[in-house]
Amino acid sequence: MVIPGGENRIVALQNNQIDATLVQLGDWLNLDARAPGRYHIIRTGNLFNISGASFWANVDWLRKNEEVATAYIAELLKSFRMVHANPKILEPLVAKHLPDMPKDIIAPAIKGYIEIVRAWPQNGGDTSILDDTVKFFTDNGELKTAVNTKELVDPKILAGALSKVGKIAGAR
């Protein structure tokens, strides 16, 4: 059975019309807040590698402003590391910029994004997200020709930023 629309799947789940469904992290947090412990995340081991940090720049601009781009990425990595060290620093920002978000799910949402989504990679991540995305859309016929992701990604800026701030062992 296919139930289109995340909001429809959530209603069906709440009404015991289905036993399990795919939901977005924010929807799961809302479900858990309404009925703590009733719903559980099923870890399949094959989460689609969909999140991380991707930064795009015009090649001509990048060539002319390499130092600026490297410094910018270094500062972003510092920010990501601050969030991992103390996720609570995001709570007032989330409350301010997402005023409709229930206050009681802000902390669990941040935790979920760090642990499940693996957001804010402390070492800048890698190309696996792009590789997985291209494979997914190629396998499903959305991309007619596979794209060589190695040709799209220039690791020079990230490498320069990591040389400034260092690399954290075991982090992505």
Contact 25/117 with Cβ under 8 angstroms?
yes
Q: CA 171 to CA 151: how far, in whole Å? A: 25
Q: What is the pLDDT of residues 129-162, one digit of tens each?
A: 788 878 877 887 888 887 788 888 888 999 999 9
Q: What is the pLDDT of residue 87?
A: 96
* pLDDT > 70 fraction of the chain, expressed in percent and rounded: 92
Residue 120 has pLDDT above 70, yes or no: yes
Q: CA 8 to CA 106: how far, in whole Å? A: 23
Residue 51 has pLDDT above 60, yes or no: no
Predicted TM-score of the model (pTM): 0.72
Confidence of residue 47 (pLDDT cuts 50, 70, 90): low
SS3 147: coil
